[in-house]
Every structure is written in structure tokens, then in C-alpha cells.
Amino acid sequence: MKDTDILFSIALMILGIVLMYKSMKGNSCRQRLAKLADSIASDKENINFQIKRFGYLLDEMAADNEKNSILKCHADRLEELVTQLDRTRNELEISNLSMADINEELKRSNAELVKRATQLRNEIQQDELAIQKIQERLDSLKRIKVGLEIALNNIQAEEVHYLSEPVFSLGITPSIKSHLESHGILYIGDLIHLNEQYLMEIWGVGPVTLEKIKTKLNENGAWFGMDVIRVGNHWYRIKQGSITD
């Protein structure tokens, strides 16, 4: 009995030890499981945070991609504009060259036109002088014709005797007389067909002398521009209605 009791006691002791070990081992497993659960929960939170952060990064990347797309569209548009500007610049350069050629041609044409205009102006001036001389010649011939008619008594006219007097009878100085005679002005009748400006241009005939001549003419019934006809050294005033066209 004693041995049996001892074995039973040993068995009980071993059983107690096993139970105590299992109990201790179960507590340790639960603690590790709890720690593992806490770690997993922490990792889950960290993973969720990383997932959220990755989501933000994806959103930012999407926004950046959209911006890049917009920027690319702008870049493509700018490239098209640059191409258009280059094409327009080339066209303008071609137009400028064409305009330069046209400008040179216009300059040449203008020079030719100026030259031709100068020639035409000179020709017109020469023609005008020729016409003026012809007109003066016609007037002279007409006056000669009228003078002949007067000489033949075909035209009634009265002689203005005062106009046949020499210029010195005007009471002018010898020096002025010489200047007038040097210009072919020998008789008073030669004066009345001249204008006052022409006489002023003759050296020595100043305003005072001119006024003196005009006064002397008026005193004797004559004036500058008087309508008379010269026949030889005589001047006649045609009576009104004696000449019919």
C-alpha cells in the first residue's frame, strides 16, 4: 500500500505539474496572441494609412497627368502657332522681296516719268513762247493792217500829235533819257504801250520819275495802255465804230 500511495502521489504531482505547465503555457499563448492581434491591428492601421496615402498619391498623379495633358495640348498649340508664324514670316519675306522689286521698278518708272514730264514741260514752254511770238506777230500784223487802212483813209482816226514828240519833252534828266533810248523808247508814243513795272525795272526810272511821267502824260490827254495805232512816227486814235470785225 505504501508503494502504491507513493506512486499515486507521484502521479498526482506529475499531473499537477503538467496542469500547471499547460495552464502557464495557455496564458503565454494568449498573451502572444493578444500581442500578435495588437501588432496586426497596428499593422492594419498602418496599411490603411499607406493605402490612403497611396490613394492621395494616385489622385495627385491623376491631377498631374491632367495638367501634363493640358500642358501638352498648349505645347502642341504653341508649336502650331510657331509653325504658322514661320510660314507667315517666309511669306512676308517673299512679299518684301517682291515689294522691293516693285519699289525699284516704281523708282525707275518715276525717274522716267519725271524726265518725260520735264521734257514735256520744256516743250510746252517752248510752244507757249512760240504761240506768244505768233500772237505778237499777228497783233503786229493786225496793227500794220489797221495802220495801212488809216493811211488810206479807209478807217476814220485822229492823230494824237503829243505822242510823236521825243521822250526828252517829258522833262526827264539826260541820264534817264539815255536809258530809255537804249531800250528803244524814242518817242512818247513808245511809252504808252509799256507797263509801269517794266519802266521801274529800267535803271534810273524810280517811283518819283515814273509819277512825273504819268502826270505829264495825263496833262496832255495820254496815259499808259492807251489804245492807239502807230503809222511811221505818228500815232492815231481810231474813232469809235470805225472798225468792224
Grid cell, residue 135, equals: 500772237
pLDDT of residue 112: 83
Does the predicted TM-score (pTM) go above 0.75?
Answer: no
Are 196 and 119 in contact, with CB atoms under 8 Å apart?
no
Query: Does an H or E element contain 174, and which?
Result: helix 174-182
pLDDT of residue 164: 92
Please tell me the distance from the alpha carbon of residue 170 to that of residue 188, in angstroms, as a whole number.
8
Please tell me the distance from the alpha carbon of residue 179 to that of residue 204, in angstroms, as a whole number.
7
Are 218 and 192 in contact, with CB atoms under 8 Å apart?
no
- Give the residue extent of every domain in the chain: 1-115, 155-236
CATH class of the domain defined by 155-236: mainly alpha
pLDDT of residue 53: 76
- DSSP string for 69-88: HHHHHHHHHHHHHHHHHHHH
CB neighbour class for 196 (10 Å; exposed up to 12, middle 13-18, buried from 19)? middle
Helix (H, G, I), strand (E, B) or coil at 13: helix
Counting DSSP H helices and E strands in the chain, the numbers are 5, 3
pLDDT of residue 152: 52
Tens of pLDDT along the chain (245 residues) come to 556 667 767 777 777 776 666 666 555 666 666 666 677 667 667 777 777 776 777 777 777 777 777 878 877 887 888 888 888 888 888 878 888 888 888 888 888 888 888 888 888 888 887 787 776 566 556 556 555 556 556 666 788 888 999 988 888 888 888 888 888 889 999 988 888 888 888 767 788 888 988 999 999 988 988 888 888 888 888 776 555 55
pLDDT of residue 163: 92
Query: Side chain identity at 58, as an amino acid letter?
Result: L
Which DSSP state fits 192? T
Between the alpha carbon of residue 84 and those of residues 32, 76, 209, the distances in Å are 75, 12, 84
